[in-house]
Amino acid sequence: MKILMLCLEFPPVNTTGNYRSAGFARYLCKNNVETVVLTGTVDTLVKSFDKKADDSLLKGLEKAKIYRFPIAPIKPLWSKGIGDKVRIWWNISDKIDKRWYFGENKKKIDAIIKKERPDLFYVSLPPFSVARTALEISKKFNLPLITDMRDGWSLWVSLPFSTRFHYKKVLNVERRLFKQSKLIMGVTPELMADFKQQHPSINANKFKTIFNGYDDLKFENTEALKKDSVYKIGYIGSFYYHPGAEKIMNDKWYKRKGLNKLYYAPRKEQWKYRSPYFFLKSLSILLEKKTELRSKIMFEYVGTAPKWFDNMIKDLGLNDNFIHHGFVPKEEVLRIQSSWDAILATSEKIPDGDHFCLPSKLFDVVNSKKRILAFLTPGSQLNFLKDYSQVVFFQPDEFEDNVTKLKELVEKKDVSFKTDELSLDFHRENTAKQFYEELMKL
């Protein structure tokens, strides 16, 4: 068997999305499945995703044939005419597909597919625009398509669609992609339930859940925690919260200005809950009530801080209780994380449903044997973490109870709490094996 994999997030570029596809590719190579990967050149991937390259991520992929083609840069908006600006406004997704699969690249990619003659074709999304490329290649070469959805698309509304028409266009492309696919994979049961609800005409048997996984990681010894009087709580990664957009969506359409009146979301999602606000507000109240704890608690953040983040820290009076480490390599992340007493988990709120995102970093968090402060709403993360003793659950809106729980944790500073091992079912070797078994059924 030979499989063609289209993965624009792929090693050595260190994006969150690269780990899943790379794990699948490693397992396939190890099990003598010829693996051909189409992706971007390293330099253009680094620029496109604004991430660094880490050659160690290529380990285990030596047997894969990796073909790289450059992604053309985005042209500055100021150089475009009014017609181009209108087309940009009507675009339904990123245009990375048209900057990669076009011109000489397209001719060379098509020639490689003809030469390699794969049996199956796998595509990893996002970037969501690659759906169009996958549809074209699958039909042009009559290749059975396996679609791997690492996120939602038509129901991803941390930002609203420009209009209802934009939403319908996305829904249409998503439906065509699923109709063409022999297998549709997703990372949580909640995500797959959303897709089934969005596309009742698609055969439900096509949808399969294969969770994200974890690799073997080494966490440093944390004995020093017992001697440290400061209780350290950390968070790693992005929040996907846009205060301006959320405010607009909470306003009645007729109260919005200009084209904002046309904004549309297929359902209500509250991404403020994914931000650290409810934890930080609880912490702020605690420190106002118990001023003696100001020297005994610290919140640390690893990642690229959005513009609103510093204002949130300042408005809640937590400048002296906050450390921002910025974006650092994974090895450094693990070193920093090893010094924390607890790790914060947050999730967006879907008032009439469940959130569907189970971040792969959460597996590392469970494996780190730290306390997990779960400021979670109903959905994937809450369902997953219910099985672990080291988790302390908070109702984000219940500030009084949250303050009481935080106070107890900081004052007791218990480092000998019970922890449960992360199931081997989620090890990258086993999630990749599930993928392999699904391929064997096609």
Res. 430: pLDDT tops 60 = yes
Could you tell me if 110 and 202 lie in one domain? yes
Res. 131: pLDDT tops 80 = yes
Could you tell me if 406 and 436 lie in one domain? no
Could you tell me if 86 and 190 lie in one domain? yes
Does 262 reside within a domain? no
E-state strands within 113-218? 120-125, 145-149, 181-186, 207-209
pLDDT of residue 76: 62
Mean pLDDT of the chain: 91
Does 249 reside within a domain? no
Could you tell me if 43 and 180 lie in one domain? yes
d(CA 17, CA 8): 9
Convert the pLDDT of each residue in 164-196 to its tens digit: 999 999 999 999 999 999 999 999 999 999 999
Higher pLDDT, residue 250 or 416: 250
**Residues 373-400: what's their mean pLDDT?**
96
Does 36 reside within a domain? yes
- Checking 256-263 for CB contacts under 8 A at 24+ apart, the result is 259/162, 262/162, 262/163, 262/164, 263/160, 263/161, 263/162, 263/163
Is residue 230 packed enough to be buried (19+ CB in 10 Å), middle (13-18) or exposed (0-12)? middle
Could you tell me if 144 and 230 lie in one domain? no
Does 258 reside within a domain? no
CATH number, domain of 188, equals: 3.40.50.2000
Report the relative pairing of strands 297-302 and 207-209 from DSSP bridges.
Answer: unpaired
pLDDT of residue 224: 46
User: Does a cis peptide bond (omega within 30 degrees of 0) precede residue 127?
Assistant: yes
**Residues 105-126: what's their mean pLDDT?**
98
Provide the 3-class DSSP secondary structure of residue 392. strand
Does 114 reside within a domain? yes
Return the bridge partners of 371, or none: 342
Could you tell me if 309 and 234 lie in one domain? yes
Does 337 reside within a domain? yes
Does 257 reside within a domain? no
Could you tell me if 398 and 299 lie in one domain? yes
**Residues 333-344: what's their mean pLDDT?**
91
For the whole model, what pTM was predicted? 0.90
Does 247 reside within a domain? no
Convert the pLDDT of each residue in 34-81 to its tens digit: 999 999 999 999 999 988 898 999 999 999 999 999 999 986 654 455
Is the Cβ–Cβ distance between 236 and 333 less than 8 Å? yes
Is the Cβ–Cβ distance between 60 and 33 less than 8 Å? no
Lowest mean pLDDT among 213-227, 336-350, 396-410: 213-227
* Residue 217 banded pLDDT, cuts 50, 70, 90: low
d(CA 429, CA 266): 37
Residues 6 or more apart whose Cβ sits within 8 Å of residue 72: 44, 99, 100, 102
Provide the 3-class DSSP secondary structure of residue 192. helix
The distance from CA 238 to its chain's CA centroid, rounded to whole angstroms, is 8
Q: 119 lies in which domain range?
A: 2-213+427-441
pLDDT of residue 223: 47
Could you tell me if 338 and 432 lie in one domain? no
pLDDT of residue 96: 93
Could you tell me if 327 and 366 lie in one domain? yes
pLDDT of residue 282: 98
Largest CA distance in the chain: 70
Structural tokens at position 215 = 């690799």
Q: How many domains does the chain have?
A: 2
Could you tell me if 188 and 285 lie in one domain? no
Could you tell me if 233 and 334 lie in one domain? yes
Could you tell me if 47 and 175 lie in one domain? yes
**Residues 346-374: what's their mean pLDDT?**
92
C-alpha distances (whole Å) from 348 to each of 4, 34, 269, 311, 354 are 35, 40, 7, 20, 9
Nearest CA to 118 among 441, 385, 384, 439?
Answer: 439
